[in-house]
Amino acid sequence: MSKNIIVIGGGLAGLAATIKIAEAGFHVDLFSMVPVKRSHSVCAQGGINSAKDMKGEGDHPDLHTTDTLFGGEYLADQPLVQDMCYEGPKIIDLLDRMGVPFNRTPEGNLDFRRFGGTLFQRTAYAGATTGQQLMYALDEQVRRFEADGKVDKYEYWEFLSAIIDDDGICRGVTAMNLWDRTVQAFKGGAVCLATGGPGLIYGKSTNSVINTGAANSRVYQQGVNYANGEFIQVHPTSIPGADKLRLISESVRGEGGRVWVPKNPADKRHPTDIPDSERDYFLERKFPKYGNLVPRDVATREIFDICVNEERGVNGENQVYLDITPERSGQTAEALERKLGGVLEIYRKFQGADPLKEPMKIFPGVHYSMGGLWVSPVDDGGQIKQMTNIPGLFAAGEADFQYHGANRLGANSLLSCIFGGFLAAPRMCEWAASHSKEADQAIYDRELKRQNEINERVLGMTSGSENTFQIHKELGEWMTRYCTVVRRNEDLEKLAGKITEFEERWHKIDINDTAKPANQSFLWTRALWDMLQLAKAIVKGATLRNECRGAHYKPDFDLAMPEKDKMGIPTDTDVYREFVAALEAQNKTTYKPLPPKSGEEVAPEFIDYMTRWVEKEKTWNKSTLATYKEGDQPDISYLPTAMTVEPPKPRIYK
Amino acid sequence: MASSNGNDSSAQQTVTLRIKRQKAPGEAPYWETFKVPYERGMNVISALMKIRLNPETAEGRKTTPVTWDAGCLEEVCGACSMRINGIPRQSCTALIDNLEQPIVLEPFSKFPVIRDLMVDRTPMFESLKRVKAWVPVDGTYHLGPAEKISPEMQQIRYKYSECMTCGCCLEACPQYNGKSAFIGASVIGQSYLFNAHPTGKNLKGDRLDVMMGVGGVVDCGNAQNCVRVCPKGIPLTDAIAAIGGQVTIHAIRKMLHF
Ligand SMILES: Cc1cc2nc3c(=O)[nH]c(=O)nc-3n(C[C@H](O)[C@H](O)[C@H](O)COP(=O)(O)OP(=O)(O)OC[C@H]3O[C@@H](n4cnc5c(N)ncnc54)[C@H](O)[C@@H]3O)c2cc1C
Ligand code: SF4
Ligand code: SF4
Ligand code: FES
């Protein structure tokens, strides 16, 4: 029986899966392009959510669920989100037992802070390098299993493809040693892709340089459906750099950071000389309840709007202030250093200014992919949770799609990575145990041959005139320009045409290097093709989705909610649900009840808005599924969302 | 000459880099010089990125793009270490504006070169195994909350826990050379980190056995180079002193069999 299981990726999701699998007595071959300890998860700064209610606020996993579903505009799988939120507190306890140096309260309890899209202090954190600290804790446990011979690591190895037998079942992988370019086939009773997100498709993003999404694209090209690819999170606060966009964590706003621009756009004074009365704290002004901690998609659009549409960016540039100075945040410099040190250091190192002395200058940057490989949300009818539509092939972490809907709440990703890895592991063990018949050697040889042929072909690309990194740079510029914060169909169509052009140019690349060891030009060229395929899925999904939902915003299809403060628009959003129910019952003309709490009259434009909203919800509350078609645009189909936990309502954060 | 800040508007300004290259493990190194256009806020990594857009030496000769290791680009993954103007450090935080030109880039000298600026730091990860740098949890099943920890202890542990295995401390250390047995400062720091954890300390004896043995803490010559180069500002010499103390007590205990 095959006791060997393959995990690709040693970020939080991959390590979480590995630990559980090894603990269950199976052997793991763990692959990563970089030493697992250097995986992208180390970048996570702000924290990890769980409704442990350690601040006496009455927080509860049900409230965490509600916030997550609402924040994701009801596109996430509801029962799974609920399970995740219920597991959250246990996961935090486990991480604590593993020695994560979480920040503490004076009594020695775990400290929690606020993050976006919630009114509770729900985020546990270790300084401002939480991802690094969680990674190390899991990495240490995996090293322990490694020392016991239960895990073998293949670091500096790149996953190339799944090995699929004639019955369509995944039986292993091919992978390439990046230091000497040898390709090998590996047998595994089950395979999990925990390969992270595709941020590099956007050129510069907050992601690590390894986050090309190529691994995900490779199995997509082998037949795994790619779901909700169009939902790309653009984080409101990053600092643009020559090589990447560096994140300034949401925890800065969680600790009191305030976003503003001068009321007078021509105001050239040093920001510390501008008094509060002459500052426009526009998020606080527009969203009195959530203030600076509205969800990311909302904050990003507002900042974008201020800079691009209103042209009120600081010094006329695309930037706004983020103020965490002790005077404005209400915390001492010492406390801020203790809670946010890592982020403050990044700003100091790269911008040469001290955020405790003057406000930071920030702008939104591509950050996270809500979409990813389709995996089953249920264990039912031959489907297995976290398993893709290729049996035996699983996915977890940012690589999968189902926990964050149309917009991820801050500090929910680390949780979903660990939760998803934990969910996949026992299922992979079970799958491996029940599919133990040895596969025919021929399928391994066949796939190995195919991969070696692709390598030969790419290595033969030495007479063209195109530069592989240049094409990537342009791809990033185009994707960022046309497929991020604001999307328009005519732009998306242009973009799709451009990607086809990039594909043509790809064939004319001169790789400039045919050496064996660590040939990054060759490796990049292979990955670039895969990035282009995934870009097509993202763009087509975005083109067809004619609505606004979470991170996907198309002004041409904005329902234009009536002004909230106007007479007759209920302020209690639960009232909206009553309307939905009434509309559903087809009696909107006779539906009279007034909002029970507020007692306000309901304005006709509100009824009108709700009618359109319900219509939109019926049409669009479904997940996009892209299916790869060689040499063509992907096929797009849709899957309904499981709504068993709570019905949707319009997303208002005022 | 590099400017002290990136504000001057000389668009024609270029950055000159001299890079020590090597085609494959074991081969002889050679040098190449590159000139790339200056950009405000640029770091060494973005200069390397510019080279690969047009891999040509300063003399205009076509060459291969330079290979280097990188990940996060914000000094938290430890990948991008190299010698920059002779100093071991992270290339992602090495801002061009603060560097003397020509900027000299070399791979670490105490680890085998894979290619160009990329080296093999496997021994560092192996050392972490030797000192059992982990907390021995019983399992991942739910066992309730962990012990409380004072904010003071958390702050001490957090500092050591930021070690990203970048290897700068080893590259700078006169006692470490890849051939000697000395385990190096980072692992001593990690031993200290886990000995300070309420459960991690259950393996303290095993760790101190390693620290007592050949290549252990006594091999440190106290040159303090490690602390000076650690990009995370980890108080390595404090750990060295503390572990030194723990080793002494451990040795006496062992001698007296209790
Ligand atoms: C700057 C930043 C800050 C963030 N802060 C937070 C936060 O505070 N809270 C939060 O919840 N979330 C945060 N996030 C999001 C979160 O960090 C990521 O979503 C999460 O870490 C992804 O983890 P993962 O395990 O899915 O993948 P990753 O950590 O990206 O790991 C992917 C793994 O796959 C490997 N891999 C990839 N391709 C291949 C291949 N072809 N072959 C072999 N191996 C491969 C890589 O080597 C790596 O080991 C942040 C993200 C960023 C960018
Ligand atoms: S103090 Fe010890 S470990 Fe640090 S550099 Fe000197 S000899 Fe090396
Ligand atoms: S102790 Fe500092 S220099 Fe040494 S490996 Fe760790 S982070 Fe790098
Ligand atoms: S790239 Fe991660 S430390 Fe420099």
Instruction: Give the list of residues 6+ apart from residue A460 with CB closer than 8 angstroms, or none.
Output: none
Task: Select from B62, B68, B77, B141 the residue whose CB has the most chain A CBs within 10 Å, as the one to mutate to test that interface.
Answer: B77
Q: List the beta strands (DSSP E) in chain B.
A: 14-21, 30-37, 81-84, 87-90, 103-106, 113-115, 118-119
In 3D space, the residue among A564, A555, A554, A548 whose CA is nearest the CA of residue A606 turns out to be: A564
Give A57-90 pLDDT, tens digit per residue: 999 999 999 999 999 999 999 999 999 999 999 9
User: Domains of chain A (ranges plus CATH)?
Assistant: 4-231+370-443 (3.50.50.60), 237-364 (3.90.700.10), 460-553 (1.20.58.100), 562-654 (no CATH)
Q: What is the pTM of this model?
A: 0.95
pLDDT of residue A574: 64
Using the predicted structure, report yes or no on whether residue A607 has a pLDDT greater than 90: no
Name the region of B122 (left: φ>0; alpha: ψ -120 to 50; beta: rest).
alpha
Query: Is B158–A37 a contact, with Cβ atoms under 8 angstroms apart?
Result: no
Judge whether A530 and A475 are in contact, CB under 8 Å.
no
Q: Kindly list the distances between the CA atom of residue B227 and the CA atoms of B98, B167, B171, B192, B236, in Å, as whole numbers in the listed order.
A: 21, 12, 12, 15, 6
Rg (CA), chain A: 25
pLDDT computed for residue B61 by the predictor: 97
pLDDT above 70 (res A599)? no
Could you read off the pLDDT of A274-331 as tens digits, one per residue?
999 999 999 999 999 899 999 999 999 999 999 989 999 999 999 999 999 999 999 9
Of B64, B87, B119, the domain-final residue: B119
Per-residue pLDDT reduced to its tens digit, A212-261:
999 999 999 999 999 999 999 999 999 988 899 999 999 999 999 999 99
DSSP annotation of A309 reads I
Phi (first) and psi of residue A348, to 5 degrees: -60, -45
My answer on whether omega of the bond before B102 falls inside 30° of 0, hence cis, is yes
For residue A609, the model assigns a pLDDT of: 84
- Dist. CA A530–CA A533, nearest whole Å: 5
CB contact under 8 A, A242 and B41: yes
Q: Give the span between the Cα atoms of A27 and A1, in whole angstroms.
A: 12
Q: How far is CA A42 from the centre of its chain?
A: 15
In the predicted structure, residue A56 carries a pLDDT above the cut 90: yes
The one-letter amino acid at A30 = L
Instruction: Select the highest-mean-pLDDT range: A1-15, A142-156, A557-571, A608-622.
Output: A142-156
CA proximity to A414, closest of A362, A347, A368, A346? A368
What average pLDDT does the segment A196-208 reach?
96
Q: Count the domains in chain B.
A: 2
- pLDDT band per the 50, 70, 90 thresholds, residue A569: low
H helices within A324-440, ranges in order? 326-329, 333-351, 413-434
Q: A517 and B197: CB-CB below 8 Å?
A: no
Whether pLDDT at A590 is above 90: no
A94, A127, A346: residue with CB nearest B140: A94
pLDDT reported for residue A2: 59
pLDDT digits (tens, 9 = 90+) for B91-125: 999 999 999 999 999 999 999 999 999 999 999 99
Instruction: Assess whether B17 and B110 both reside in one domain.
Output: yes
Give the percent of chain A with pLDDT over 70: 94
Query: Which residue, of B88, B119, B150, is where some domain finishes?
Result: B119
B positions 133-192 inside 8 Å of A (CB): 133-137, 139-140, 142-146, 148-151, 154-155, 157-158, 161-162, 164-165
Please state the atom number of ligand 4 nearest to the C-alpha of residue A42. 2
User: Same structural domain for residues B146 and B61?
Assistant: no
The C-alpha atoms of residue A506 and residue A627 are separated, in whole angstroms, by 22
pLDDT at A440: 92
Strand order in the sheet with A635-640: A372-373, A226-227, A622-627, A635-640
State yes or no: pLDDT of B72 exceeds 50.
yes
Q: Is A296 a catalytic residue?
A: yes
Name the pLDDT band for A1 (thresholds 50, 70, 90): very low
Asked if residues A170 and A392 have their Cβ atoms less than 8 Å apart, the reply is yes
| Domain region containing B109 | 3-119
Q: Assess whether B96 and B209 both reside in one domain.
A: no
Q: For residues B171 and B149, state if they share a domain.
A: yes
Predicted confidence (pLDDT) at residue A644 exceeds the cutoff of 90: no
Q: Could you tell me if B83 and B167 lie in one domain? A: no
Q: Is residue B201's pLDDT more than 70?
A: yes
Q: Do both B211 and B115 map to the same domain?
A: no
Contact A347, B41 (CB under 8 A): no
Average confidence (pLDDT) over A512-524? 96
On whether both B8 and B115 belong to a single domain, the answer is yes
CA of A40 to the centre of ligand 1 (A): 4
Per-residue pLDDT, averaged over A486-500, amounts to: 97
Q: Which CATH number goes with the domain that contains B179?
A: 1.10.1060.10
CATH (domain of B101): 3.10.20.30
| ipTM (interface pTM) | 0.95
Task: Report pLDDT digits (tens) over B121-165.
Answer: 999 999 999 999 999 999 999 999 999 999 999 999 999 999 999
Contact A184, A174 (CB under 8 A): yes
Q: Region A2-25: what's the mean pLDDT?
A: 96
A131: nearest CA in chain B? B76
pLDDT at A560: 81
- Is residue A591's pLDDT more than 50? no
Looking at the fold, whether B185 and B240 belong to one and the same domain comes out as yes
User: Is it the case that residue A395 has pLDDT exceeding 50?
Assistant: yes
State what percent of residues in chain A have pLDDT above 90.
85
Rounded to whole angstroms, the Cα distance separating A246 from A364 reads 10
Same domain, B109 and B130: no
Q: Which ligand 4 atom is at minimum distance from the Cα of B72?
A: 2
To the nearest whole number, what is the mean pLDDT of chain B? 93
The three-class DSSP label of residue A302 is helix
DSSP A40-87: GGGG--S-EE----TTSS---HHHHHHHHHHHTTT-S-HHHHHHHHHH
Whether residue B79 is found in the same domain as residue B187? no
- Please identify, among B68, B86, B119, the residue that sits at the C-terminal boundary of a domain: B119
Rounded to the nearest angstrom, the minimum Cα separation between A347 and chain B is: 10
User: B115 and B20 in one domain?
Assistant: yes
Tell me: do B238 and B175 sit in the same domain.
yes
Between the alpha carbon of residue B64 and those of residues A388, A458, B91, B120, the distances in Å are 40, 16, 20, 21
What is the C-alpha to C-alpha distance for residues A159 and A151, in angstroms, rounded to an integer?
Answer: 17
Q: What is the pLDDT of residue A437?
A: 83
Which among A78, A188, A227 is positioned nearest to A638, based on CA atoms? A227
| Token pair belonging to A162 | 């799944």
